[in-house]
Amino acid sequence: MIAKAPAPAPGADTSGDPYLPAHGNGGYRVRHYDLTLDYKVAPNRLSASAVITAEATQALSRASFDFGEFRINRVLVDGKPAKYVKRGAKLHVKPAKSIAVGAAFTVEVHYVGNPRPVGSRWGDVGWDELTDGALVASQPVGAPSWFPCNDHPSDKASYRVSVTTASPYLVAVTGTLVERSTSASTTKWVFDRPEPTATYLMSVQIGRYDDLELTGRGWAPPAGVGARLLSLGFGHGRVESVADSVPQRAAVPPRLRRAFDRDFGRQGRMMEFLQRLFGPYPFPEYVIVVTDDDLDDPIEAQGMSIFGANHVDGRRTHERLVVHELSHQWFGNSLTVADWRHIWLNEGFATYAEWLWSEEAGGLSAQALARDWYTRVKAKPADVRIADPGVARMFDERVYKRGALTLHALRGEIGDPAFFALLKAWAVEHRHRLVTTGQFVTTAEAYAGRSLTAFFTRWLDSTALPPL
């Protein structure tokens, strides 16, 4: 029988995040997760192991991890059996010997159970069953629903994920497929994710999907596209094929193939446009998954976006969501918020990318969309500070739209050349790093060549909506 570990020391099982202190843990930084998953679809049964490689940031007599409702079979630290206890949503592990500050160590957890979403104020998030398959939608606190982790966006790590399931199912994981092998009635899929990745951005998708190649799917740009690109400083007024250098694939239910081809037909052009705006795409691949079930909202993951069947209608009704999720690969995934107070740096930027794409694709201009949303936001209560909206309003529509309005107002404040140079520099210089609002303000002032304190105070720190 495994003896119980002592009660957690103050602060050891909290990240200190001002919004979600219960998620994340102190005392160490994770460097790598090696996850081995065996999943049976019909009974929703997961047998798994997680090997977590970490570095102690202080002397550790024990370590805590965020983890869901599984039966734990054994826990090892540096290959030796360790004491452990599960209390609520935390797994507390006590190694046989204390770990010195700065030392690398591994924690190996073997577990089994029926994965289920984590309940939160935003609904259930994490591993969830589909009608025929499974998906993972972890933002912001769902990662513990399928593996033990340090569940805070600031603790980004690399991953290797192996998934074995019945052969009729296609598996997509946020990473590059490096191995696939079939044995009897099952197939093992192995994916590498070497770039630093937040726990909430790791995803597993399992379903009966067709595997489609998207690279090279372009479109005929509307008249005047060259002039617009030139005016934004993108080159010599001609469209070069930079999207083809990024492998793009899709997993789509067979019944939705025709509608998908229409709705995502401009994917190559979209990738090209965003690279011109924000710099090189930050990952080796981009994968789109369309589930055979409806979803309330699309899901972002590292190198992947997930849409519901209801987002595919053959009329490009939801194309703004397509570009929104793609832009998160730069803003949210490559550039990850240091804590959840800075969520506008994800959602405001992705929303403004929607407006820029609309203009590029021949729809409403960014200016027209900004005016429209300014009117809508102004009609709502002025009770949200974008720089610190509070945990209850992290995903409030006003964080998205007023965040985009802030960028549009900044564009008017400093002019197009400085603004678009700033966007690209922000994405490129902070590639795969953590970011804060303060860092963005500093970068913006560098490109403006002057203080923008008054501007950002009005737009980010005040609840009242400034004039546009």
Please report, in range form, the residues annotated as the binding site: 324, 328, 347
CA 113 and chain centroid, separation:
26
- The 3-state DSSP class for residue 420 equals helix
**CA distance linking residue 72 with residue 84, whole number of Å:** 9
Reported for 82-91, long-range contacts at CB under 8 A and 24+ positions apart, including other chains, are 82/107, 83/2, 83/3, 83/4, 83/5, 84/2, 84/5, 85/4, 85/5, 87/8, 89/22, 89/118, 89/144, 90/8, 90/13, 90/25, 90/64, 90/65, 90/66, 91/64, 91/65, 91/66, 91/67, 91/148
Residue 107 to residue 75: CA distance in whole angstroms: 7
CA distance 190 to 171: 9
For 294, residues 6+ apart whose C-beta sits below 8 A from its C-beta are 308, 309, 310
Q: Which of the residues 33, 286, 374, 400 is marked catalytic?
A: 400
Phi, psi for 440 (deg, rounded to 5):
-65, -40
Residue 411 CA to residue 456 CA, distance in Å, equals: 13
Buried b (16+ CB within 10 A) or exposed e, 80-104: eebbbbbeebbbbbbbeeebeeeee
- The whole-angstrom separation of Cα 208 and Cα 205 is 10
The DSSP bridge pattern shows strands 286-290 and 248-252 to be: parallel
Is 400 catalytic? The answer is yes
Task: Out of 272, 325, 354, 360, pick the active-site residue.
Answer: 325
Closest by CA position to 399, among listed 344, 317, 459, 468: 344
Is the four-CA dihedral 74, 76, 82, 87 of positive or negative sign? negative
What would the two tokens of residue 26 be? 């102190």
Binding-site positions for Zn(2+) read 324, 328, 347
Question: How large is the angle between the packed helices 397-414 and 437-448, nearest 10 degrees?
Answer: 20
169 catalytic, yes or no?
A: no
d(CA 138, CA 20): 14
Distance of CA 366 to the CA centre of its chain: 25
Say which DSSP state 463 is in. Answer: S
Rounded Cα–Cα distance for residues 339 and 337 (Å): 5
Catalytic residues, by residue number, are 325, 400
